[in-house]
Amino acid sequence: MLVLSRQRDESIMIGDNIVVTIVDIRGDKVRLGINAPSEVPVHRQEVYEAIQRENLRAVRLEPGDTRDIGRFAGRTGGQDRPPEAPRR
Amino acid sequence: MRINTTRFGRIDVESGDVLHFPSGLPGLEDCRDWALLADSTNDALGWLQSTTRGDIALAVVSPRRFVPDYQVRIPRSELTPLSITDIRQAQVVVVVARNGKTLTLNLKAPIVINLEARTGRQVVASGELPLQYELTQERPPLKKSA
Protein backbone atom coordinates (compact mmCIF):
# COMPACT_ATOMS: atom_id res chain seq x y z
CA MET A 1 0.00 0.00 0.00
CA LEU A 2 1.24 3.46 -0.82
CA VAL A 3 1.35 5.56 2.35
CA LEU A 4 1.54 9.36 2.12
CA SER A 5 1.68 11.93 4.93
CA ARG A 6 -0.65 14.90 4.52
CA GLN A 7 -1.67 17.85 6.66
CA ARG A 8 -5.01 19.55 6.92
CA ASP A 9 -6.10 21.21 3.64
CA GLU A 10 -3.58 19.20 1.65
CA SER A 11 -4.72 16.82 -1.06
CA ILE A 12 -3.67 13.84 -3.06
CA MET A 13 -4.58 13.16 -6.66
CA ILE A 14 -5.61 9.78 -8.00
CA GLY A 15 -5.26 9.72 -11.74
CA ASP A 16 -5.92 13.11 -13.28
CA ASN A 17 -9.45 13.70 -12.10
CA ILE A 18 -9.87 12.45 -8.53
CA VAL A 19 -8.78 14.70 -5.68
CA VAL A 20 -8.93 13.63 -2.04
CA THR A 21 -8.51 16.49 0.45
CA ILE A 22 -7.91 16.30 4.20
CA VAL A 23 -10.67 18.63 5.40
CA ASP A 24 -10.34 18.19 9.14
CA ILE A 25 -8.49 16.12 11.71
CA ARG A 26 -9.87 15.68 15.21
CA GLY A 27 -8.42 13.03 17.48
CA ASP A 28 -8.69 9.70 15.66
CA LYS A 29 -11.21 11.04 13.13
CA VAL A 30 -10.27 12.41 9.73
CA ARG A 31 -12.74 14.15 7.43
CA LEU A 32 -12.02 13.73 3.76
CA GLY A 33 -13.33 15.72 0.83
CA ILE A 34 -13.51 13.77 -2.40
CA ASN A 35 -13.83 15.30 -5.83
CA ALA A 36 -14.41 12.63 -8.44
CA PRO A 37 -16.25 12.42 -11.76
CA SER A 38 -19.90 11.54 -11.20
CA GLU A 39 -19.51 8.18 -12.96
CA VAL A 40 -17.00 7.07 -10.30
CA PRO A 41 -18.96 5.64 -7.36
CA VAL A 42 -17.54 6.67 -3.97
CA HIS A 43 -18.60 4.66 -0.93
CA ARG A 44 -17.60 4.07 2.65
CA GLN A 45 -15.99 0.66 2.40
CA GLU A 46 -18.06 -1.04 5.11
CA VAL A 47 -21.28 0.27 3.57
CA TYR A 48 -20.27 -0.94 0.11
CA GLU A 49 -19.33 -4.37 1.45
CA ALA A 50 -22.62 -4.64 3.32
CA ILE A 51 -24.52 -3.88 0.10
CA GLN A 52 -22.42 -6.46 -1.78
CA ARG A 53 -23.28 -9.10 0.81
CA GLU A 54 -26.93 -8.12 0.71
CA ASN A 55 -27.12 -8.41 -3.09
CA LEU A 56 -25.41 -11.80 -3.04
CA ARG A 57 -27.95 -12.92 -0.45
CA ALA A 58 -30.80 -11.53 -2.53
CA VAL A 59 -29.88 -13.45 -5.70
CA ARG A 60 -30.56 -16.67 -3.81
CA LEU A 61 -34.26 -15.78 -3.67
CA GLU A 62 -36.51 -17.95 -5.83
CA PRO A 63 -40.00 -17.13 -7.10
CA GLY A 64 -41.49 -19.62 -4.63
CA ASP A 65 -40.12 -17.57 -1.73
CA THR A 66 -42.12 -14.51 -2.67
CA ARG A 67 -45.54 -16.14 -2.96
CA ASP A 68 -46.89 -14.35 0.11
CA ILE A 69 -45.41 -10.93 -0.50
CA GLY A 70 -48.74 -9.52 -1.66
CA ARG A 71 -50.03 -9.78 1.91
CA PHE A 72 -47.69 -6.97 2.87
CA ALA A 73 -48.46 -4.68 -0.07
CA GLY A 74 -50.64 -1.67 0.38
CA ARG A 75 -52.29 0.26 -2.39
CA THR A 76 -50.06 2.16 -4.77
CA GLY A 77 -49.40 5.58 -3.34
CA GLY A 78 -47.07 8.50 -3.78
CA GLN A 79 -45.06 8.96 -6.91
CA ASP A 80 -43.83 5.42 -7.23
CA ARG A 81 -45.41 3.26 -9.84
CA PRO A 82 -45.20 -0.50 -9.79
CA PRO A 83 -42.50 -1.84 -12.09
CA GLU A 84 -43.42 -1.56 -15.72
CA ALA A 85 -42.51 -4.77 -17.41
CA PRO A 86 -43.79 -6.94 -20.20
CA ARG A 87 -46.27 -9.49 -18.85
CA ARG A 88 -44.92 -12.93 -19.22
CA MET B 1 -32.74 -11.21 -27.38
CA ARG B 2 -33.32 -14.65 -25.92
CA ILE B 3 -32.22 -15.45 -22.37
CA ASN B 4 -32.17 -18.90 -20.82
CA THR B 5 -33.01 -18.24 -17.18
CA THR B 6 -32.92 -20.69 -14.30
CA ARG B 7 -36.08 -19.22 -12.75
CA PHE B 8 -38.30 -18.33 -15.69
CA GLY B 9 -37.12 -20.63 -18.43
CA ARG B 10 -36.45 -19.16 -21.83
CA ILE B 11 -37.58 -15.56 -22.20
CA ASP B 12 -37.48 -13.06 -25.03
CA VAL B 13 -36.51 -9.48 -24.27
CA GLU B 14 -36.69 -6.64 -26.76
CA SER B 15 -33.29 -5.00 -26.94
CA GLY B 16 -35.01 -1.64 -26.35
CA ASP B 17 -36.27 -2.94 -23.00
CA VAL B 18 -32.82 -3.74 -21.64
CA LEU B 19 -31.72 -1.56 -18.73
CA HIS B 20 -28.04 -0.69 -18.65
CA PHE B 21 -26.28 -0.34 -15.28
CA PRO B 22 -22.90 1.22 -16.16
CA SER B 23 -21.26 0.13 -12.88
CA GLY B 24 -23.16 -3.11 -12.44
CA LEU B 25 -24.39 -3.69 -8.90
CA PRO B 26 -22.23 -4.10 -5.77
CA GLY B 27 -21.31 -7.78 -5.62
CA LEU B 28 -22.58 -8.24 -9.18
CA GLU B 29 -20.24 -5.84 -10.91
CA ASP B 30 -20.15 -7.91 -14.11
CA CYS B 31 -23.91 -7.81 -14.58
CA ARG B 32 -24.51 -4.56 -16.41
CA ASP B 33 -27.56 -5.36 -18.50
CA TRP B 34 -30.85 -6.28 -16.95
CA ALA B 35 -34.44 -6.85 -17.99
CA LEU B 36 -37.30 -5.85 -15.68
CA LEU B 37 -39.92 -8.60 -15.67
CA ALA B 38 -43.33 -8.62 -14.03
CA ASP B 39 -43.94 -11.53 -11.69
CA SER B 40 -46.47 -13.90 -13.22
CA THR B 41 -48.57 -14.22 -10.05
CA ASN B 42 -47.92 -11.11 -8.00
CA ASP B 43 -48.49 -7.63 -9.35
CA ALA B 44 -46.54 -6.02 -6.49
CA LEU B 45 -43.39 -7.81 -7.55
CA GLY B 46 -40.92 -7.49 -10.38
CA TRP B 47 -37.70 -9.29 -11.22
CA LEU B 48 -34.52 -7.74 -12.47
CA GLN B 49 -33.09 -10.51 -14.61
CA SER B 50 -29.50 -10.30 -15.80
CA THR B 51 -29.46 -10.63 -19.58
CA THR B 52 -25.98 -12.16 -19.55
CA ARG B 53 -26.33 -14.58 -16.65
CA GLY B 54 -29.46 -16.67 -16.59
CA ASP B 55 -28.98 -17.64 -12.95
CA ILE B 56 -28.84 -14.06 -11.67
CA ALA B 57 -32.11 -12.28 -10.87
CA LEU B 58 -33.21 -9.95 -8.09
CA ALA B 59 -36.77 -9.62 -6.84
CA VAL B 60 -37.74 -5.95 -6.62
CA VAL B 61 -40.73 -4.01 -5.34
CA SER B 62 -41.85 -0.43 -5.24
CA PRO B 63 -41.02 0.52 -1.63
CA ARG B 64 -43.97 2.85 -1.11
CA ARG B 65 -46.39 -0.05 -1.36
CA PHE B 66 -44.72 -1.82 1.53
CA VAL B 67 -43.26 1.00 3.61
CA PRO B 68 -45.54 4.02 3.23
CA ASP B 69 -43.30 6.30 5.28
CA TYR B 70 -40.18 5.47 3.28
CA GLN B 71 -38.82 8.71 1.94
CA VAL B 72 -35.72 8.14 -0.05
CA ARG B 73 -33.10 10.85 -0.02
CA ILE B 74 -30.31 10.35 -2.50
CA PRO B 75 -27.33 12.65 -2.96
CA ARG B 76 -27.61 14.38 -6.32
CA SER B 77 -24.14 13.14 -7.27
CA GLU B 78 -25.53 9.59 -7.21
CA LEU B 79 -28.21 10.53 -9.74
CA THR B 80 -26.26 12.57 -12.29
CA PRO B 81 -24.79 9.46 -13.98
CA LEU B 82 -28.38 8.47 -14.75
CA SER B 83 -29.17 11.86 -16.32
CA ILE B 84 -31.68 12.40 -13.54
CA THR B 85 -31.94 15.84 -12.03
CA ASP B 86 -35.18 15.25 -10.16
CA ILE B 87 -36.03 12.06 -8.29
CA ARG B 88 -39.51 12.21 -9.86
CA GLN B 89 -37.98 11.25 -13.21
CA ALA B 90 -36.91 8.03 -11.62
CA GLN B 91 -38.46 4.71 -10.88
CA VAL B 92 -37.28 3.62 -7.44
CA VAL B 93 -37.35 -0.05 -6.51
CA VAL B 94 -35.83 -1.97 -3.61
CA VAL B 95 -34.39 -5.46 -3.56
CA VAL B 96 -36.17 -8.28 -1.76
CA ALA B 97 -34.25 -10.96 0.11
CA ARG B 98 -35.13 -13.65 2.61
CA ASN B 99 -33.97 -14.05 6.17
CA GLY B 100 -35.18 -17.47 7.26
CA LYS B 101 -38.90 -17.33 6.61
CA THR B 102 -39.07 -13.55 6.69
CA LEU B 103 -38.82 -11.47 3.55
CA THR B 104 -36.67 -8.36 3.84
CA LEU B 105 -36.30 -5.17 1.81
CA ASN B 106 -33.02 -3.36 1.30
CA LEU B 107 -34.10 0.21 2.04
CA LYS B 108 -30.52 1.48 2.40
CA ALA B 109 -29.55 0.81 -1.21
CA PRO B 110 -32.50 1.34 -3.55
CA ILE B 111 -32.17 0.85 -7.28
CA VAL B 112 -32.96 3.94 -9.30
CA ILE B 113 -34.00 3.47 -12.91
CA ASN B 114 -34.35 6.14 -15.55
CA LEU B 115 -36.99 4.48 -17.70
CA GLU B 116 -36.57 6.92 -20.58
CA ALA B 117 -32.81 6.56 -20.82
CA ARG B 118 -33.01 2.84 -19.88
CA THR B 119 -30.22 3.24 -17.36
CA GLY B 120 -30.04 2.19 -13.73
CA ARG B 121 -27.87 2.31 -10.66
CA GLN B 122 -27.98 1.04 -7.13
CA VAL B 123 -27.46 4.01 -4.87
CA VAL B 124 -26.84 4.56 -1.18
CA ALA B 125 -29.65 6.54 0.41
CA SER B 126 -28.87 9.14 3.05
CA GLY B 127 -29.79 8.55 6.66
CA GLU B 128 -30.18 5.54 8.91
CA LEU B 129 -32.04 2.95 6.87
CA PRO B 130 -32.00 -0.82 7.23
CA LEU B 131 -30.39 -3.17 4.70
CA GLN B 132 -32.85 -5.77 5.94
CA TYR B 133 -36.24 -4.24 6.67
CA GLU B 134 -38.41 -7.17 7.70
CA LEU B 135 -41.84 -7.52 6.16
CA THR B 136 -44.27 -8.37 8.93
CA GLN B 137 -47.97 -7.82 9.42
CA GLU B 138 -47.33 -5.11 12.01
CA ARG B 139 -45.43 -2.84 9.62
CA PRO B 140 -42.77 -1.58 11.99
CA PRO B 141 -42.40 2.18 11.63
CA LEU B 142 -39.17 3.39 10.13
CA LYS B 143 -36.85 4.98 12.60
CA LYS B 144 -36.69 8.61 11.65
CA SER B 145 -33.20 9.56 10.61
CA ALA B 146 -31.48 12.67 11.88
Q: Which of A39, A59, A79 is nearest residue B58 as measured by Cβ atoms?
A: A59
Question: Does residue B144 carry a pLDDT above 60?
Answer: no
| pLDDT tens per residue, range B61-115 | 999 899 988 988 888 777 877 887 777 778 999 999 999 989 999 999 999 999 8
Q: To probe the interface with A, which of B14, B19, B98, B107 has the most A CB atoms within 10 Å? A: B98
Instruction: Judge: A69–B103 Cβ closer than 8 Å, yes or no.
Output: yes
Note the ipTM here.
Answer: 0.89
Q: Are A70 and B95 an interchain contact pair (Cβ–Cβ within 8 Å)?
A: no
Are the beta carbons of B55 and B6 closer than 8 angstroms?
yes
Nearest to B88 among A62, A70, A79 (CB): A79
Strand pairing report for B57-61 and B91-99: antiparallel
* B97–A57 CB contact, under 8 Å: yes
A71 pLDDT tier (thresholds 50, 70, 90): confident
Interface of B with A in 46-65 (CB under 8 A): 46-47, 55-65
Instruction: Report DSSP state, residue B28.
Output: B
Q: Which residues pair with B127 in a beta bridge?
A: none
The highest-confidence range among A40-49, B75-84, B103-112, B137-146, by mean pLDDT, is B103-112
Nearest to B103 by CA among B73, B67, B144, B74: B67
**What mean pLDDT is predicted for residues B108-127?**
92
Instruction: Tell me how far the alpha carbon of residue A16 is from its chain's centroid.
Output: 23
